Structure 1
Amino acid sequence: MKKIRYFIVSTIVLCMIFASTIVTYAADPYLSFGSKTGNVNVKKYADKYNDTWVSVIDNGISAWNNSSANVSISKSSSSKNSIEAARYDDTWYGLTSQTYNSSTGYTTKFTIKVNARTISADATNFNNFAKSTVTHEFGHVFWLCDNPNTSKSSIMKYSRNRNGMTAPQTFDVDNVNAKYD
């Protein structure tokens, strides 16, 4: 009987240690990589997409540019960074891939992909949902991780209302500013 109790108590303690490790990691709002400065550019895209997508992407960029975050996103035909909108077979709404220097953590190139297929299927307000996705993906470029463990509103949360929340929230801006102050 003592062995069973010892086993149960030991299992519970190990589970608690494991759970606290997860919470500690999830509470960190940052990725281990991101843009060296808050000033990034992305390859011009107006000639690739229809007016709806150009507007959505422009509005996602403006959400950061018009926030009080110390960041600026511009467009340049010579940029190696890109944003792409297409109907991908995957289940995600958006995906950011970053190439970075492992010794500094600084991003040297990024690609943001926005999935028109999943957004069209799930959005009640397509433009807002897509803008929320673009804004969220740029958050990754500025070091922000997915789904931070906070009770505060965040554009990086999976549980956000993508049909309504389209701009970085105070929590996001504060964390980005902490990286670029």
Structure 2
Amino acid sequence: MRRRFAGQAAGARVSSGQYSDFLTFRLDLTSALLSERANAVYRERWGLDVRALRVLRIVCAEPGVTPKAVSQRALIEKTLLSKTLAELESRGLIGRDTHADDRRSVALHATPEGRKVAKASAKAGAALEAELAVALTDAERKTLDRLLGKLSDSLLDGASA
């Protein structure tokens, strides 16, 4: 079986049996392709990428969340998260306050504009997912969701052990 990867002309594919058979490679490639497609839509409409919108949605869903908690939930490295939070704050989409329970910590909250962008981008994300899902039958989609959940749970359980 031969597969085509990003940056390759149609018809140029990587043969099965090479590095393309590694699950990590295939998952990473699929993630990159999905993010690339979503970023094109999100950057055009809001000037933000998938990562920034993921962070914004977490802040909207959990008012008062700390940067550390966002980093853990979104699996974003601290330095990169700091840059993302600064961008969202400079654009007026989030704000920072001293955390009520720990004055050494920061509590994040979404602004009204941030909530508006998060809501609209979630709708756009759902439309993108529906568009991408046409490649799978309903049964395949359910199986994929189940398997990805099982794999993620296994990895997260192993990380905390």
Normalised by the size of structure 2, how large is the TM-score?
A: 0.26
Which has the larger strand fraction?
1
- State the structure with bigger RCO (CA 8 A, min sep 6), 1 or 2: 1
Which has the larger helix fraction?
2
